[in-house]
Amino acid sequence: MSLTVRYIRLLSYDNACKVCEFINRNDTGKMEDDYANITVGGVHTQTNDGSWEEIENFLKSLDVRYEVGETPPHIVTENIVANLKAKGVIK
């Protein structure tokens, strides 16, 4: 069974902790277990595709904005800043 890496952005620290606790609740330390940790700018997840729907439902239940992607959150932020600089919005 393979794991898919996803990153979740735009969560508060409190909600990031809740997401990590939810994903890690069945972690036994095996490589094939779902796992999440807080990283720069978001939450790093390694999950089985079969469990992602349940995780996504949990995220939706938080009733907050979030973004899921395959690019690390700090890279997304760097790209946003670079684009705003290129447009002259910020210096």
Q: For residue range 38-49, what is the model confidence (pLDDT) as tens digits?
A: 999 999 999 998
Mean pLDDT of the region 18-22:
98
Domain boundaries, the chain: 3-86
For residue 85, what are the CA distances in angstroms to 13, 14, 23, 67, 89? 28, 31, 36, 22, 6
Dihedral angle sign, alpha carbons of residues 42, 55, 69, 30:
positive
For 50-66, what is each residue's pLDDT tens digit? 999 999 999 999 999 99
Mean pLDDT of the region 15-32:
94
> pTM (2 decimals)?
0.87
Quick one: pLDDT at residue 9?
95
Model confidence at 1: pLDDT above 80: no
User: Is CATH 2.60.40 correct for 3-86?
Assistant: no
Mean pLDDT of the region 21-37:
94
Quick one: pLDDT at residue 2?
83
Residue with tokens 């939706």: 60
For residue 76, what are the CA distances in angstroms to 10, 42, 44, 82? 11, 11, 13, 10
Instruction: Please provide the average confidence, as pLDDT, over all residues in the chain.
Output: 94
